[in-house]
Structure 1
Amino acid sequence: MIVVDEYLAIRSLVGDTPSDLPDDVLAITTSVHWRILQRLHLPRGGQLSQAMAALSEPGRAAFRRPAPEILEILDPRPLLDQAAEISAAYGGTGLLIAEMLTASLHHGRTLWYGSERNVGRRTRDIARDLGITVNVVT
């Protein structure tokens, strides 16, 4: 299982998985899923809203209840305490960053992003401190 961002999740559900991505089940955190669902129900015009708007209705429906063999939504319960610990240790990161980092610690110490601009400097710095590899595939 590999932990991916929302942009790689979108690509995987529409059959556009990058060839550089390992052949394994893709997983997103609950906060990433929440972010996707928010843009489904209330588009704002940003990058994620535009990506979601480009999907067909069946494509958007696939995000409401993704098939676990294609995209796993990670259970947050085993992650939240450690995510809060990471957040506190690094000056109060948001849940999205802390949960992604924690998920990667539980699933191979690797994070996968669909665009370089989606990886913030703070995420890179904390990942480096925690021994997490950040990969970007386009």
Structure 2
Amino acid sequence: MTFKQVVAELDATEKFGTNPSLDTIREICNRLNNPQNDYPTIHIVGTNGKTSTARMISSILTHLGYKTGCYISPHIFSYIERFAIDNELISENDFVSYYEKIKKIANELENSPGSKKVTHFEILTTMAFLYFRERKCDCV
């Protein structure tokens, strides 16, 4: 797939599930051996300033010598803005590669009995989990 094809697929993907649940994302993570458990994580919540706060914390930790992943949402111009390690955005080729890995699992889940569509959030978030583990981030 090309980056443009991936973007088209993501843009067409259901943004939110009809019945909010963590079951699908847990199943994807289980099939990936729970990459989100392989590094300490700082989760930033609130109404305003989350991206700025995340980028500042990431820069500080990178400056201190930690290999630091940063996942933000939403993006402004491109999906690649959501994924960075040491303040460097993911390449389009890597983005496509991680998308294809997660999409394969998503297709398996969607084709199993009693399944539901894997959402935009679930795909992008599990891509980030896997990307940061495979790139051996110290913290995210």
* TM-score, length-scaled by structure 1: 0.24
Q: Which has the higher contact order (CA 8 A, sep 6+)?
A: 2
Q: Which has the larger radius of gyration?
A: 2
More strand by share: 1
